[in-house]
Each structure stands twice: as C-alpha cells, then as structure tokens.
Amino acid sequence: MGLFLYLASMSLRQRIHTKICILGGGPAGSTASLYLSKYKIPHLLIDRNNFPRDKVCGENFDGRVYWILKDLMPEEFKVLDENERLLKTWKYRIWSKNLNFSFEFPKEKTPRLALKRQSLDQTLFQKASSSKYAQIITGKTYTLNHTQEGHHLKFEDLDIQADFLIRATGARKEESKPHLNYLFSRTYYQGVKSKGEDGFEFFHFKKPFRGLVSLCPLPNDLTNVEITIRHADYQCYSEPLDTLLENLIEAQPELKARFKGAVQVSKPKGISMHMASPVRFTGDREVRIGSSAFTSNPAVGLGVGNAMSGGRLIARVINDLMGQPNGLAKVPSAYEGQAKTYFRPMLRFNMVANMIHQNFNFFEPLLWVFYKLRVLNFFLKQDLKLFSVRQSLAGFWTKPPVEKIKKAEAKTPAFQS
Ligand SMILES: Cc1cc2nc3c(=O)[nH]c(=O)nc-3n(C[C@H](O)[C@H](O)[C@H](O)COP(=O)(O)OP(=O)(O)OC[C@H]3O[C@@H](n4cnc5c(N)ncnc54)[C@H](O)[C@@H]3O)c2cc1C
C-alpha cells in the first residue's frame, strides 16, 4: 500500500525541464531574467521568498542602476520618477570626531539614486514576471542536487531538471571571515532635518562605542537611518541595536538637533552580513551573480549596481554563445573572464573601503590630509577609473572638454528640473 501511494504520488508530480534556471529574484536575478527575456531566451526564475519583500539596505545606488532601469523599463522608471519615489543625489558626506567632509560628484555625471529597496526590487521582479519568456516560482522550498545531466531541483510537488544555473541567491555567509561579520539595523524616520542639499551621510563613531550611522534621504521626507556595528564589538552590549542607534544620535550634537521632532515610522529591521566574501563567479554548469559572487561594503553603495550589472553581463554572454554548438557549456569560462575584468575596479575599491572602515583610527589623519590637499575630490571625480590602471591612464589623456560637459548637462533631464 505504502509503495503504491509512493508510486502514485511520484506519477502525479509535475516535471519541468529548462535550459536556464535563475535562483534568486533580487536585483541580480531579476535583471538577468529581464535581459534574457529581452533576448527572447526562455528561462525559469525561482525565489524561495514571496514578493514584495523588504530587504535591509542603505538605499543609495550608483549610476549603473539609473542606466539599467532606464534601459529595461523606461515607462516604469518614469512612473517611479514622477511619483517622487526616487531621488537623485550627488552629495556624499563623512563625519567623525576629527573629520567633516562633504564631497560632490560632478553634476555632469549620472546621479546616484535614492529609493526604497522594496519599490526597486518589486518593480524589477514584477516586470521580470510579466515576460512570456520567464516562468516564475516563488515561496516554495526545494532541495538541489547536481546530476550528470545538470541540476535537479526537488519541490514538494514538482521536479525540475535544469541544464544551467544562474545563482543569484545573495550573500554567502558560510565562506567568509568571522571578523568581517557586521550587524545592521535600519529604521525609517520622518522629519529628519536636512543639511543643505540631500546626499548620503556617514557618521563614524569611536565613542561612546565603535559604530557607524548612515543617513539616506528618501522621497516624501523619509530618511533611511542605519546603524552598523562589528559583530565582535556588539557582543558586550545587552541593548538592542536600535537603542544603541538612539544613544549615538543623542551623543552627536548635530544629529541630535536634526532628529529633534523626527518620528520613527517603521520598526527597526536587522540583518547581518560579511563585508567581504571570497570572489566566486563560476561553478560546474553554473555562474554566480550579485552578492552571491561577492559582497561589497554597504558604505561604497555599489552592491545593487554590481548585482544588476552582473545580471546584464550574464544575459549578454548567454545570448552571444547560446546559438553555438555546445554554447551553454562555454558560458562559465566566458563569463568568468569578462566578469573579472569588469568588476576588478569595484573589487579594488571595496578592498580599500574595508581597509579604511576596519582601521579607521589609522586612516583618519591620512583622510584629513588627503581632504585638505583636495586629493579626495580628485578621486571622486575620477570615479572608479582610478581603481583600474588602464582606465585611469586613459582618463588622463582623454579629459572631456568643457563644451562636451555642458552639452551632456543640457541633455541630462536631472539638470532641467
Ligand atoms: C545593511 C546593508 C546595506 C546596504 N546598502 C546598500 C546601498 O545603500 N546601496 C547598494 O547599492 N547596495 C547596498 N547593499 C548591498 C545590496 O543589498 C546587495 O548588493 C544586493 O542586495 C545584492 O543583490 P542580489 O540580487 O545579489 O541579492 P539579494 O538582494 O540578497 O537577493 C537574493 C534573493 O535570492 C533569494 N534566495 C536566497 N536563497 C535562495 C535559494 N536557495 N533559492 C531561491 N531563492 C533564494 C532571496 O529570497 C532574495 O530574494 C547593502 C547591504 C546591506 C547588508
């Protein structure tokens, strides 16, 4: 009887075969799906959670997010923009007891975007789900086994055989160094007073304890306020992170004044993450994109840009090779080569940011000297080019003439508003 029931249930199970399966529908997975759909390549997109989901994030994104959104979904981008659900910013500020730097990206550059992660992720995922080339499964658990034919995903009522996996499952915890583990807690506040033009701000504290407070202004008078503490430093405290955040705000006169009258409009939400994980772009008949390939320090604000660029890159590589004999088998090595070159400057920048973050006492005076000598402004103007030897050398010879910059300004809608 038992065997009969087992055989009956096996025969009722649905089976699906897919050439390409994306695991994870965050910015990396959804962008990969959207570009695959653009190239008319059928695929499966699986997320273990249901959407919309609320991911803790600093919510300040680099110019690649701006361009990819405009490229993939100009209509939805316009709606986000017109409904004031995104904010364009050029400013960046770092504060510590001995420093108070304000940088401004040159306005001819693409603005940084500030918008709620929930809106961004939901917009991307919804658009990905609406494509006839994408089959979507969410909110279901499964086990994954690697077989000779590819990958076998076993759900309660479904078996999926996938030839090729795109892993976009977010940060890997198991492979990182414990001293790089950080805790974060995010709270939305309404009515935090702004300090001039809006921008991303970091407050580096040594006292009353070591921690970082970041402020990201969002549309509709909201501010994303986040506290970051190294896991090892937090172990001696019994208070929850949001109480420690309130203590830090109280301890800094400027923050105290700016938060006067501001109200919390969300419960604090926490997350832990390793600031740097070993880089891994490929596996057996699979590739990794987004934080699943490598994590970046949230302070550099490049994580979502990296994730979406990774999604775009893998779809392009698949599109280029898919038509060739045994094309999918060639994808991992082709993607690895291109990803290593493309992400090299971001990885170097991340390494420097981590080094500064972890040894702030040592770097603080150096940063002050660099700031006074205007070296930091120069760095910012060069953007990530300085972290790529080839690009930075090219940048020295091909400085854009003033006229070109003016023309670019005239064409950028952000300047006209
Ligand atoms: C505190 C904090 C602040 C940050 N601030 C910023 C910032 O201001 N700007 C910025 O650009 N970046 C920031 N980042 C980084 C950014 O959040 C990540 O780079 C980004 O989320 C990576 O996107 P992803 O799609 O790779 O992964 P995720 O966004 O983590 O998405 C992974 C998806 O995979 C799903 N999933 C997980 N496991 C499985 C599985 N086994 N099967 C199926 N689905 C699965 C999850 O449900 C999730 O939907 C911050 C990160 C942290 C932790």
Query: Do residues 36 and 149 share a domain?
Result: yes
Q: Nearest-CA neighbor of 309 among 126, 106, 63, 59?
A: 63
The answer to the question of residue 245 being in a domain is: no
Query: Do residues 298 and 372 share a domain?
Result: no
Q: Is 268 in the pocket of ligand 1 (CB under 6 A)?
A: no
The answer to the question of residue 401 being in a domain is: yes
Query: pTM of the prediction?
Result: 0.89
Q: Is 275 in the pocket of ligand 1 (CB under 6 A)?
A: no
CA of 405 to the centre of ligand 1 (A): 35
N residues, the chain? 417
Query: Do residues 312 and 349 share a domain?
Result: yes
Query: Do residues 286 and 395 share a domain?
Result: no
The answer to the question of residue 16 being in a domain is: yes
Q: How many domains does the chain fold into?
A: 2
Residue 106: predicted pLDDT: 66
CA distance 233 to 95: 20
Query: Do residues 45 and 122 share a domain?
Result: yes
From 320, 342, 358, the end of a domain falls on: 358
Query: Do residues 312 and 354 share a domain?
Result: yes
Which CATH number characterizes residue 344's domain?
3.50.50.60
Q: Is 46 in the pocket of ligand 1 (CB under 6 A)?
A: yes
The answer to the question of residue 134 being in a domain is: yes
Query: Do residues 128 and 44 share a domain?
Result: yes
CA 73, chain centre distance (Å): 18
Residue with CA at minimum distance from ligand 1 atom 16: 303
CA of 309 to the centre of ligand 1 (A): 14
The answer to the question of residue 246 being in a domain is: no
Residue 267 tokens read as 């419960």
Are 226 and 184 in contact, with CB atoms under 8 Å apart? yes
Residue 231: predicted pLDDT: 87
The answer to the question of residue 260 being in a domain is: no
pLDDT tens series, the chain, 417 aa? 554 545 455 556 789 999 999 999 999 999 999 999 999 999 999 999 999 999 999 998 888 888 899 899 988 888 777 765 666 677 788 889 888 888 776 666 677 788 899 999 999 999 999 999 999 999 999 999 998 889 999 999 999 999 999 999 998 876 666 677 889 999 999 999 988 767 889 999 988 888 999 999 888 889 999 999 988 888 888 889 999 999 999 999 999 999 999 999 999 999 888 877 789 999 999 999 999 999 988 888 889 999 999 999 999 999 999 989 989 999 999 999 999 988 988 898 888 888 888 888 899 898 888 888 877 777 766 666 656 555 544 444 444 444 544 554 454 443 332
CA of 57 to the centre of ligand 1 (A): 8
Query: Do residues 30 and 125 share a domain?
Result: yes
Domain of residue 381: give its range: 363-416
Query: Do residues 28 and 155 share a domain?
Result: yes
Q: Is 61 in the pocket of ligand 1 (CB under 6 A)?
A: yes
Termini Cα distance of the chain: 73
Residue 107: predicted pLDDT: 64
Residue 121: predicted pLDDT: 96
Q: Name the phi and psi angles at 193, rounded to 5.
A: -70, 140
CA of 171 to the centre of ligand 1 (A): 7
CA distance 278 to 379: 26
Query: Do residues 47 and 162 share a domain?
Result: yes
Q: Is 60 in the pocket of ligand 1 (CB under 6 A)?
A: yes
The answer to the question of residue 410 being in a domain is: yes
CA of 291 to the centre of ligand 1 (A): 6
Q: Is 56 in the pocket of ligand 1 (CB under 6 A)?
A: yes
Residue 401: predicted pLDDT: 41
Q: Is 28 in the pocket of ligand 1 (CB under 6 A)?
A: yes
Query: Do residues 37 and 145 share a domain?
Result: yes
The answer to the question of residue 151 being in a domain is: yes
C-alpha distances out from residue 62 to 69, 94, 96, 107, 167, Å: 12, 17, 24, 14, 23
Q: Is 218 in the pocket of ligand 1 (CB under 6 A)?
A: no
Q: Is 345 in the pocket of ligand 1 (CB under 6 A)?
A: no
From 320, 340, 358, the end of a domain falls on: 358
Query: Do residues 377 and 352 share a domain?
Result: no
From 333, 358, 383, the end of a domain falls on: 358
